[in-house]
Chain A
Amino acid sequence: LISAWTQTPTKWYPLPLAVGALLLVMIQYRKKVARAEKEVHVDHEGQEIIKLKGPWQVHVLGALPLRNMSRVWGYMNSVELPIWIRPYGFRLYAYVFGCNLEEIEPSDLTQYASLGDFFYRKLKAGARPVDNAVIVSPADGTVLHFGTVENLRVEQVKGITYSLDALLGVERFDPGSPTSPTSTVVEFPPAGDMSVVNDREFANVNGIEYSLDQLLGASTPSTPGSMTPTLERSNSDSDIASDIPKKHGAQIDASVEQEGSLQETLAHDASVAQEMGVRPALGEHKRSTSGTSVKEGNALYFTVIYLAPGDYHRFHSPTAWVVEKRRHFVGELFSVSPYMAKRLQNLFVLNERVALLGRWRYGFFGMVPVGATNVGSIKVNFDAALRTNVRGRPPPPGTYTEAVYSAASPLLNGQPLTPAQEMGGFCLG
């Protein structure tokens, strides 16, 4: 080796110019791509225009018909399996993806007609003890990232951020603007069996007594302004109108004929609230839709939990809170695996998702289930009207359909949830 190293003669060749030029072009191209990643394009209203950004793998994926693939995948997994094959098939799936078959309910595998059924399995009662912390995990999975929201930007992974307004949607009332979201407001008949129990300021949510302080906190919560101007009950937002669709902007004022019953109902709520000494949602919890930021002494936090294919895929309430509205963003269905989260900027604001917005004892609370290629369908137990992963070209990013849950409990102005209460789940396809 030493003699080869010392005796081999060194020959010098002139590098062809083209190689040098190619090298320069490569360096320039990488610089341009890096700068394009950093650039943020905004529309005429100052809202960030969400674009597909990332390495070439991301653009290849973006060119695929992900939504159609997801629907075909869902169709395949809804096909009923012969009974004899089910135990073997589901045990194989459980072995490959690490599912714990001891804790599922029903445990008899022949009772699951398809893989889609098995994927949306339930757990045995008591399978998940609930910690008494203010915030508990809403699902089984892996904590991808967490932290505080700085300047309304959420960190996707180290170094990649996306706009919180893009994630949760910004309410715009000027129907003229071409990009104003087509937020159709759909009312629901009272769903929850929410009833005020007695004058000890208790509310009975699905059989469990919760003090209103536990549900809504002692202080009057506020809402960060630019993110989600909360529901302001005006006569055009009649909460008691049953499922009459309304559109912001070209407001189909369905509430006019409801006016009478709305006033009666509010008067009734207020008198009930008065009798029981319980605060009506209208009074103290009416929050401005102006630019109020988070309360003094508070901060905005975020957590991202990734559910792997083998995880239990129903999600539960992370705390005691009231869901006031939901915004359904029809988006793409990129994979949301940690591999993609590290490469595809704006992943969570490009994908189909349902932003559930409301309040808890300390102020604003939002929970956003985000779909993915194999799991494109999102179910919310108290929102029968929600349809996700439907056929058709997705509208531009940032457009959403809105529904309010104020009819679920006029007193709390939304759907009340208790910690670890099942809220819905993700389905295959």
Chain B
Amino acid sequence: STIVLVFEAPKSFEFAVKAGQKVKVGNRLGDV
């Protein structure tokens, strides 16, 4: 299964992950 997030954020938003990275609930995905 898959979860797709689509969201509006300021252009200063930056992802803190890389494609292929393993993540767990609560891990940082990105921040402004």
Give chain A's interface residues, CB within 8 Å of chain B: 123, 128-131, 133-146, 149, 154, 164, 167-168, 221-222, 224, 294-295, 297-307, 312-313, 315-316, 318-319, 336, 341, 348, 360, 362-372, 375, 378, 419-420, 426
Contact = CB atoms under 8 A, between A and B. Distances in A.
Contact of B29 (A136, A140, A144, A375): A136
Interface residues on B, range: 20 to 34
A135 B18 CA distance: 15
Contacts, number: 183
Interface of B: 1-11, 13, 15-32
In the complex, the 8 A-B pairs of residues with the closest C-beta atoms, listed nearest first = A363-B8, A130-B26, A131-B28, A133-B28, A137-B23, A368-B4, A133-B31, A128-B25
A375 B18 CA distance: 25
A154 B27 CA distance: 23
A389 to B, nearest CB: 12
Contacts of A149: 6
A40 B21 CA distance: 32
B25 to A, nearest CB: 4
Interface centre among A133, A301, A318 (most CB of B within 10 A): A301
B6 A368 contact: yes
B1 A370 contact: yes
A391 B5 CA distance: 28
Nearest to A360: B7
23 contacts: A133-B30, A135-B7, A138-B5, A143-B20, A146-B15, A146-B30, A154-B4, A167-B4, A167-B6, A297-B10, A297-B11, A301-B30, A304-B5, A305-B5, A313-B1, A348-B4, A362-B9, A362-B32, A364-B6, A365-B8, A366-B5, A371-B1, A372-B2
